[in-house]
Structure 1
């Protein structure tokens, strides 16, 4: 029966809706590695519904979507209407055109929510005349012939002459012969076409080409789908957009930017606390992963040391507090910011993000996946990943996060081998009890000791004070500061001020003596 025009229009609308919804979910899932997208590309042939490049590979989709999923038959795949070639022929033609555009790796997809037919073929059709065991249906051919052969091709069986002798080809020979004829390709190109073709039947609208645990917000999917549709309708016909251009149109630019800078300001004059540095580096070399902590009072140099320390492997930093910044506290203690920024930092080490997350829990899943990838990197390449999280004591003392990152620190048992988490804090009492118990283990917590007399001397030398101070002044400087970096900084600033404002060396030395005597009256707690 002839189909009414309204039915054709309705089917087209359903197809377009499915196409853009599918594309939207793919973009959200691949956003971390997405390079560009292209919609309605006339050069792509039938695979023009949606194209994107993620990582090193190009992907091109032909989408067949039904309002009520039904059966997809052999004839739907192979037969054309009137003088038009069938879907299989058009897919092969699209593959040829896209390979001419670029030599980059390519996958062409047929994506549909319809299911491959399980109805047994009859008559003289290629499926029915095959010698394979019954039932002989499209679903059986895909499961017992097409998919195994494609797997072998991907595994480097490249010659059709080798494949032709396989039972998966011999038993389904009429079907394979018909597909080769319809493709119009040489034997060598037909093998490459099968390698690059992925047939995806029975797709669910919530999980196409995605990880099963990815569940983007429906409102964001709808916003992205509508944006893609607007791109197609735009008179400028700019169907290809870079990731940054797409994010700009979506007003999602911040999703791939750090919410807070994680660089700690270095003092003008600095010397490393060697005892603490050696203790931390030794602990990391003796262990295969897990928690470490650097503990010390305010101003003792924890953050500076952690920003400078050298661990083998990949190091990333997250600072819950950065002094003298525009927002030293705002939002840094939030678990949401922690998941977001740390995921970006781990991606910068060479790991691949599976999406960006749209809320607290989905961002957590992205981070957990990166954590697991870091464990695999250790097993395969021996490369450790060190996550430094500093300023934890500032969160309960000065911030009021909606959900504190302290509550979302990974459990010690959840850290794979090769993944270290190094905490910088005044006290470990702010972290969950399971982490406290782990840090109580021998060698996992380093108490930051005072600077040695020699290290104090090195700081005084670097500040240029040894050129005019008496030798006894340096000893007094070490005693007055008690080796505390912040106290030492204050005294050094006072001495530098004398140097700048008192030209007479004798008077300046006398004033320095008085200043150091006065400073020696203070001690103990930095306050």
Structure 2
């Protein structure tokens, strides 16, 4: 037992008549002269207190109802902190010259202390009498789990073809890091040129301290919009540097952009000090910046809160990855520095030797001969995505001779978009195929091909397979993913406001049709869960609110839908209620989101995937572990689930989960 109180021990009572005249006999003296030394002696660390307090001690033993040996053990585990005073509010783990930031830190620390105090009193008063709490249990009790965890996982998936480093670009990056003492570098490249993979693989085993933030990760059913938000960027970056030992602030991170920005400035200052003391550099990778303006439309983009060069000390580098340097919202000082020629890097191409090695390791059947392999190199021009498309086309062609397939492949020209345009021009008059492509580009997450076959034109599906099959990747369960996000973005742009396919007013009609297709699916089909998403995208506020009920969310949860996805849908429904102004519906949505956030936390330690596999629900089991290339479970849980997937006859899935979680 540990009692902490600001009360003082009494000095007005008397616990014993023994002792010399003038010696204190009150409770405060008893604690100082007998209780504390006696308790310490029970632990074998100090002698008895004064003999004159024995009668008071024996009175306490009798009152407790314990045997003396039991009371001794109790005393050993009983700590009394009386007259306790809180430390002052001055932050101790942050040194800033900004008085406003210091005041905000002090207020945050005090608020958290009050919340912790209140939670402990609630726990003590509970009937179940909990006497021990783990860190995770306490964070859940306080509702602080998100403050102590990353908002997003910052691992980029492995490439879909055997990997070969583009050594010329890797050398350029090494040279730029050696040439500059710190500050910003930018790596530019066309879609599919391998920027993200190179930054991930090349920097993984360097001796420098490397911190990563990905503004975009492919194959996620949930939009990446939250990755582009400044508050999430600052939260994850500050937390990552905290875990590297550069703690700033005495309270857990909270969604306060100004407070997080001040902490990041302090962490950068300390990283500079560490570099001067140890010589170890820090590389902060911020990748996928072009996706923010093009696809995410955040409330406050992270580009607005990248530290200006004057705040980045020697020994610290920000390595940016993007398709373009025209980044709306980027601060002038940062934009100016990355305009310097020696700070700009351009993705090169795979060498001929690398392409030959990739083709060999792809294990195509039939295997291309030397002449066909040379043709693959010429057609791809060493561009990783163009090469991946060619290999995928050869793989999907089955036993057809490679030379015959390659004869119909468009050569790569500078940008992969040119290849997309060439294919588009061949089919743009095929209205049914164009309409199908428009819908596929707007499907949330993976494409359930069996579901699409229920409503799509069969002739259009056939032409999709024969003409565009190599632009997709098939999952073991039959679902399709876009091979690369650039093709999905191309289709979105080409089919938005296209008369006869979408509408001059936008693509709401396409989303509305997808919602109707979901509604027509059987009640137990997982695509039914996506109907709310499509109605929200279509601006069907009444339809969204009709579906966003606690009863419906609970039914989905019991059917195996991950709690995190349900929580996201509850939050997604809030703008629809804002249009209607229904305060009761608003309260229900907030409570629903909170309910499934709590369910998610409570089920963290439950092996849901293993249970679902045992019940034969393989798709639900996969969805509980990963959402495309984004882990839904924590890495340890995911690794533990790999064995269950292997035993269930899903070795490819086990391998993929392992790659994401390691």
State TM-score, norm by structure 2: 0.48
* 1:292-348 superposed Cα distances (whole Å, 9 cap, x missing partner): 111111111100111101343111110000010233513000111111111222233
Q: Counterpart of 2:331?
A: 432
C-alpha deviation, 1:253, in angstroms: 1.5
CA 1:221–1:490 in structure 2 vs 1: closer, same or farther (change >3 Å)? same
Q: Counterpart of 1:448?
A: 347
C-alpha deviation, 1:99, in angstroms: 12
CA 1:240–1:209 in structure 2 vs 1: closer, same or farther (change >3 Å)? farther
CA 1:80–1:284 in structure 2 vs 1: closer, same or farther (change >3 Å)? farther
* 1:361-413 superposed Cα distances (whole Å, 9 cap, x missing partner): 22223333332232222122222111100000110111121111000001111
Asked if the contact 1:451–1:485 (Cα under 8 Å) also holds between the matched residues in 2, the reply is: yes
Asked if the contact 1:292–1:421 (Cα under 8 Å) also holds between the matched residues in 2, the reply is: yes
C-alpha deviation, 1:489, in angstroms: 0.8
SS where residue 318 of structure 1 aligns? strand
Is 2:253 aligned against 1:357? yes
* 1:9-59 superposed Cα distances (whole Å, 9 cap, x missing partner): xxxxxxxxxxxxxxxxxxxxxxxxxxxxxxxx34xxxxx31xxxxxxxxxx
Could you tell me which of 481, 489, 496 is aligned with 2:380? 481
CA 1:433–1:241 in structure 2 vs 1: closer, same or farther (change >3 Å)? same
* 1:179-228 superposed Cα distances (whole Å, 9 cap, x missing partner): xxxxxxxxxxxxxxxxxx9x998965x54867545131876554433212
Give the gaps of 5 or more residues in structure 2: 9-21, 46-80, 95-101, 418-662
SS where residue 291 of structure 1 aligns? strand
Aligned pairs for 1:377-416 within 5 A: 377-416=274-313
Could you tell me which of 324, 330, 347 is aligned with 2:242? 347
Q: Return the alpha-carbon distance in structure 1 between the equivalents of residues 38 and 323 of structure 2.
A: 61
C-alpha deviation, 1:234, in angstroms: 3.5
SS where residue 216 of structure 1 aligns? helix
Q: Counterpart of 1:188?
A: none
Q: Counterpart of 1:288?
A: 181
Question: Larger Cα Rg: Structure 1 or Structure 2?
Answer: 1
CA 1:282–1:328 in structure 2 vs 1: closer, same or farther (change >3 Å)? farther
C-alpha deviation, 1:439, in angstroms: 1.9
Q: Return the alpha-carbon distance in structure 2 between the equivalents of residues 288 and 91 of structure 1.
A: 63
Is 2:319 aligned against 1:422? yes
How many equivalent pairs are there?
352
Could you tell me which of 149, 162, 166 is aligned with 1:257? 149
SS where residue 351 of structure 1 aligns? coil
Q: Return the alpha-carbon distance in structure 2 between the equivalents of residues 400 and 90 of structure 1.
A: 68
**Structure with the larger helix share:** 2
Is 2:199 aligned against 1:303? no
Q: Counterpart of 1:162?
A: none
Is 2:360 aligned against 1:461? yes
CA 1:64–1:285 in structure 2 vs 1: closer, same or farther (change >3 Å)? farther
Aligned pairs for 1:124-273 within 5 A: 204=88, 206-207=89-90, 212-213=102-103, 214=105, 215-216=107-108, 222-238=114-130, 240-268=132-160, 269-273=162-166
Give the gaps of 5 or more residues in structure 1: 1-40, 43-47, 50-61, 66-78, 103-196
CA 1:95–1:446 in structure 2 vs 1: closer, same or farther (change >3 Å)? farther
Alpha-carbon RMSD: 3.5
Could you tell me which of 208, 212, 235 is aligned with 1:317? 212
State TM-score, norm by structure 1: 0.59
Q: Return the alpha-carbon distance in structure 2 between the equivalents of residues 245 and 201 of structure 1.
A: 27
Q: Return the alpha-carbon distance in structure 1 between the equivalents of residues 41 and 241 of structure 2.
A: 33
CA 1:235–1:369 in structure 2 vs 1: closer, same or farther (change >3 Å)? farther
Could you tell me which of 386, 389, 408 is aligned with 1:490? 389
SS where residue 285 of structure 2 aligns? strand
Relative contact order, CA 8 A, sep 6+: which one is greater? 1
Q: Return the alpha-carbon distance in structure 1 between the equivalents of residues 315 and 39 of structure 2.
A: 44
**Structure with the larger strand share:** 1
